Amino acid sequence: MEHDTHSHDLHPDAGLARRGLMFILSSPSGAGKTTIARKMLQHETNLRLSVSCTTRAPRPGEVDGKDYHFISQDQFDRMVENEEFLEWAHVFGKSYGTPKAEVKAGIRAGHDYLFDIDWQGTQQLHQKMEVDVVRVFLLPPSIDELRRRLTGRGTDSAEVIADRMARAQSEISHWDGYDYVVVNEDIDECFGKVRQILAAERLRRARQTGLIGFVRELMVP
């Protein structure tokens, strides 16, 4: 694993050089992951959304290079073959992957990346970049509340809702593969807890690459 202990790049939220991190947010559908991720990007300095590659077509309003890197299946397969992804998966006939080079360079420069991915992608990232990864899983306050959120506007059939519930409960079963688990009963309280996790992880001694030189200067007689 690559570790840059000589970087002198400063980041906006501290006075010492720091190695960046990969902040993963996962949750079952209906537990508020998208809302929390959006609030984190709005309020946290030096936190950027990891831009994935995908073979699906852009949706209205999506921008290439901002929302996704839109590429062909042939390009994607070549990147898989060349091991250019940190994690990748096929979902509903389309392919998605996290480019390796961009994220690794950003982490060395002290930038933090937010990942909105499922437990399978989380496993892949943790296996490849373990010390750089922080895994956070959001849970609904109750199964009844989850069902209420998944019911939506009441226009879906009972079969569709049952399928959503089954998928959500399958995702919940992987809760113990995460470093932190937060129950999202109140969105503002949940957001506050997730920000606390990020703040603490940014302060881990192992990530403070500027500490060695700083402490040496303190010890000079």
Q: Considering its fold, how many domains does the chain have in total?
A: 1
Beta-bridge partners for 26: 137
CATH number at residue 44: 3.40.50.300
Tell me whether residue 68 is in a domain. Answer: no
- What whole-number distance in Å separates Cα of residue 38 and Cα of residue 208? 27
Report, as an integer, the average pLDDT of 38-60. Answer: 94
Q: Is residue 16 part of a domain?
A: no
Q: Establish if 5 belongs to a structural domain.
A: no
Q: What is the mean pLDDT of residues 38-42?
A: 96
74 domain residue, yes or no: no
Six token digits for residue 59 = 């949706």
Average pLDDT over residues 105-123: 93
Per-residue pLDDT, averaged over 203-207, amounts to: 94
Residue 66 lies in a domain: no
Residue 132, in any domain of the structure: yes
Residue 35 lies in a domain: yes
More confident residue, 193 or 4: 193
Would you call 203 exposed, middle or buried from its count of C-beta atoms within 10 A (0-12, 13-18, 19+)? exposed
Q: Are 133 and 24 in contact (CB under 8 A)?
A: yes
Mean pLDDT, rounded, for 184-201: 97
Going by DSSP bridges, is the β-strand pair 180-183/69-70 parallel, antiparallel, or unpaired?
Answer: unpaired
Helix, strand, coil distribution of the chain in percent, nearest 5: 45, 20, 35
Mean of per-residue pLDDT scores for the chain = 89
CA distances for 161 relative to 48, 138, 145, 148, angstroms? 33, 20, 13, 10
Domain that holds residue 191: 22-49+110-218
Residue 14 lies in a domain: no
Q: Who has greater pLDDT, 137 or 5?
A: 137
Q: Could you report the per-residue pLDDT of 117-167, keeping only the tens digit for each?
A: 889 889 999 999 999 999 999 999 999 998 888 887 577 788 888 888 998
Query: By mean pLDDT, which of 23-27, 159-163, 196-200, 205-209 is the weakest?
Result: 159-163
